[in-house]
């Protein structure tokens, strides 16, 4: 997978983004981006959207067996993935909320403190509690994706 991403980035020189993926450093799976892949995407100006599918957020998740309660899965886990990307980038410009909440799964596979889509707003509070500034939080919550779309549509 790593080789394929790097080949794709070399072949396509246009704008890129990763709509919903998390960090392999936190959850080891080939669908997740390793730190070198994150760096390659950052070099291309990409925004990486944090995914809220449980197996992508916590290690050891087994579909249809593990529960959010048993895994202690709360929204704070997605903030760890977002923060990891920010630490690699050295800024907050390359991450956002990708969600992956499109109906392919239900509450059985999402953080236990995520009852409605409105609860995503709590991610902003969690980022502020970690010391992120208001403009950084606004970028992560939506602004980074909006900026990237405007850049691509020029």
Tens of pLDDT, residues 102-125? 767 778 889 999 998 899 999 999
Crossing angle between the packed helical segments 2-11 and 35-43, to the nearest 10 degrees: 10
Token readout for 123 is 């991610």
**What's the mean per-residue pLDDT of the chain?**
94
User: How does pLDDT run across 47-57, given as a tens digit for each residue?
Assistant: 999 999 999 99
What's the CA gap between 21 and 89, in Å, rounded?
A: 16
What's the CA gap between 16 and 94, in Å, rounded?
A: 11
Which pTM does this prediction carry? Answer: 0.94
On whether the CB atoms of residues 123 and 77 are closer than 8 A, the answer is no
pLDDT of residue 106: 76
Name the helix (H) or strand (E) containing 48. Answer: strand 48-51
Which ranges of the chain have pLDDT less than 50?
none
CA nearest 42: which of 77, 75, 98, 84? Answer: 84
In percent, the amount of the chain with pLDDT more than 90 equals 84
On whether the CB atoms of residues 20 and 97 are closer than 8 A, the answer is no
């Amino acid at each position: 997978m790593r080789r394929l991403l790097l080949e794709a980035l070399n072949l396509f020189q246009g704008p890129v983004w990763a709509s919903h993926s998390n960090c392999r450093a936190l959850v080891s799976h080939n669908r997740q981006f390793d730190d070198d892949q994150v760096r390659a995407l950052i070099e291309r100006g990409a925004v990486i959207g944090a995914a809220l599918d449980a197996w992508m957020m916590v290690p050891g998740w087994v579909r249809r067996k593990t529960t959010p309660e048993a895994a202690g899965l709360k929204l704070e886990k997605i903030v760890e993935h977002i923060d990891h990307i920010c630490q690699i980038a050295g800024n907050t410009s390359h991450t956002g909320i990708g969600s992956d909440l499109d109906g392919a799964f239900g509450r059985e596979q999402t953080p236990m403190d995520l009852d409605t889509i409105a609860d995503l707003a709590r991610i902003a509070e969690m980022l502020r509690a970690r010391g992120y500034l208001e403009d950084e939080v606004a970028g992560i919550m939506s602004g980074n994706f909006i900026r990237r779309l405007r850049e691509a549509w020029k």
